[in-house]
Amino acid sequence: MIIFQEAAEGAEAVASISEEKTLSVMDLIVNGGTASIVIIMVLFVLLFVALYIYFERVFAIKAASKIDKNFMNQIRDHVMNGKLEAARLLCAQTDSPVARLIEKGVARIGKPLDDINTSIENAGTLEVYKLEKNVSVLATVAGAAPMIGFLGTVIGMILAFHEMASSGGQAEMGSLASGIYTAMTTTVAGLVVGIIAYIGYNHLVNRTDKVVHQMEANAVEFLDLLNEPI
């Protein structure tokens, strides 16, 4: 019984020590000093910007990808029956990149096919630009965040070595804590923000490519329609 009691007391002591040594994220930020706080605040702003752009683009791209499955069939029927105004009205009532491309093509029916194709391509370029709005900012955050974190690492190590130099190389670990905290916390924060922005950027690029493919497929279908014998 005495052995079990001592073991229990030892476990409680270890648990107590473990709890005392546990640090929250806020403790890590504050204990890193002014440099750590400033750099992590900058990274927090970048994270907010990255998340805002990501979710804004996700919803925009999702809305752009929605189109009635019967849209092209209705366009085909209107064009084949010579109802070009009805086809243009249908395109105007459909809020999607595909509809805007087809509207440009319908408006130029009767002109050479190359002119129609060029008009659709120009409209497609504008639509892709709209889809990719601010996505480059996300890529910039993905690249800049880790570098800002590493800047904090360098600053932290400079502070630590400066403390050692000031004490003649006899500095205790406690006096080096601020510099070490700055180095470690900013590195982790920069990598976390960079990883989140990088994953978000690649996801948006993938979603955008799918919409562009949809636009190209429908544009080709429309041009093939114009080549069909009436």
Output the pTM of the full model: 0.75
Q: Kindly state whether residue 20 falls inside one of the protein's structural domains.
A: no
Same domain, yes or no: 155 and 43: yes
Domain extent at residue 177: 25-65+133-227
Same domain, yes or no: 204 and 95: no
Same domain, yes or no: 95 and 209: no
Among the candidates 131, 154, 181, a domain finishes at 131
- Per-residue pLDDT of the chain in tens (230 residues, 90 and over written 9): 444 444 445 445 444 444 444 545 555 555 555 666 788 889 999 999 999 999 999 999 988 888 778 888 888 888 888 888 888 888 888 888 888 888 888 888 878 888 888 888 888 889 888 888 889 999 999 999 999 888 877 777 776 666 666 666 555 555 555 556 666 778 888 999 999 999 999 999 999 999 899 888 888 888 888 776 55
Tally of domains in the chain: 2
199 to each of 5, 128, 140, 194, 222, how far by Cα in Å?
52, 20, 13, 9, 35
Same domain, yes or no: 44 and 88: no
Q: Kindly state whether residue 15 falls inside one of the protein's structural domains.
A: no
73 to each of 94, 110, 222, how far by Cα in Å?
14, 20, 10
Same domain, yes or no: 148 and 121: no
Alpha-carbon distance of 97 to 221, in angstroms, equals 15
Residue 109: beta bridge partners? 111
Nearest to 121 by CA among 156, 138, 97: 97
Same domain, yes or no: 122 and 214: no
Find how far residue 38's CA is from the centre of its chain: 23
**Does residue 123 sit in helix, strand or coil?**
helix
